[in-house]
Amino acid sequence: MSSDTPFLIVETGQPVASMRRHGGFPHWIRVAAGLRADEAVVARVEQGDELPQREGFAGVIVTGSGAMVTERRDWSERSAQWLREAAHAGVPLFGICYGHQLLAHALGGEVGDHPAGREMGTIGLELHPPAADDPLFAGLPERFPAQATHLQTVLRAPEGATVLAKSVHDACHAFRWGDRVWGVQFHPEFSAAHMRGYVRARREALVQEGRDWRAVSANVTAAPQARRVLRRFVKHARSGFRGR
């Protein structure tokens, strides 16, 4: 296989309506990951697409979604089974937000509503010591900003997984299972503009929760280290693919 072997992007949902003019999650992910259009194949599972045979892909990236893993929707449960089998077969996998939670669920972890509610905006990510030896996180600062927006969370990581990062709000912001599967609760594909757009879209909910949405938006900053995690996954998956 050549070095431009495509990645499969599993699209589990759409951005909030006000941000769709900027494209869907697969476009945001592809741009952030540095992939050309012909280096990504999209399976729109929420819209009824079947997942393809896993052979022939350098790796798989699972998007975020407005859905909840605990709803156990048919397309989500089918995707979880496919991801479970792919993980055990050694396929490089990277889940973002909903994708992170779906991978945890697929591998036997527990997902549910976060007891403290919503986490939103540019948050401070803190790495756990094992991250120093992780292919995606090694060498990054112990603390760096990342974009986040979620109500549910990984309450318990899968058995055998290594939790790599946390925030003040969320104890499991990233985990690795084996040596080819990662989940991240944060959004490495979000730019600051994406994050501000999400805050504005959720402003009524934030007000109802007693938060100042304008302050949340004003505190949004760039998060280049978080984006590096996604790009490192692409590089790591490609190097592993050549070895298979």
> Phi and psi dihedrals of 132, rounded to 5?
-65, -25
Q: Is 2 domain-assigned? A: no
pLDDT at 1 over 60: no
State yes or no: is 97 an active-site residue. yes
Q: Which of 46, 97, 128, 150 is catalytic?
A: 97
Q: Is 55 domain-assigned? A: yes
Q: Which of 105, 150, 173, 187 is catalytic?
A: 187
Q: Is 219 domain-assigned? A: yes
Let me know: does 101 contact 113? Beta carbons within 8 Å. no
Let me know: does 180 contact 218? Beta carbons within 8 Å. no
The per-residue pLDDT for range 58-68, each reduced to its tens digit, is 999 999 999 99
The per-residue pLDDT for range 54-112, each reduced to its tens digit, is 999 999 999 999 999 999 999 999 999 999 999 999 999 999 999 999 999 999 999 99
Domain count, the chain: 1
- The DSSP bridge partners found for residue 119 are 150
Q: Is 32 domain-assigned? A: yes
Here the CATH number for the domain that contains residue 110 is 3.40.50.880
pTM: 0.96
Let me know: does 114 contact 151? Beta carbons within 8 Å. yes
Element (H, E) at 152: strand 152-156
State yes or no: is 187 an active-site residue. yes
Q: Which of 194, 230, 229, 241 is nearest to 9 (CA)?
A: 230
State yes or no: is 22 an active-site residue. no
Q: Which residues span the domain enclosing 49? A: 7-242
Let me know: does 30 contact 37? Beta carbons within 8 Å. yes
3-state secondary structure of 169: coil
pLDDT at 241 over 70: no
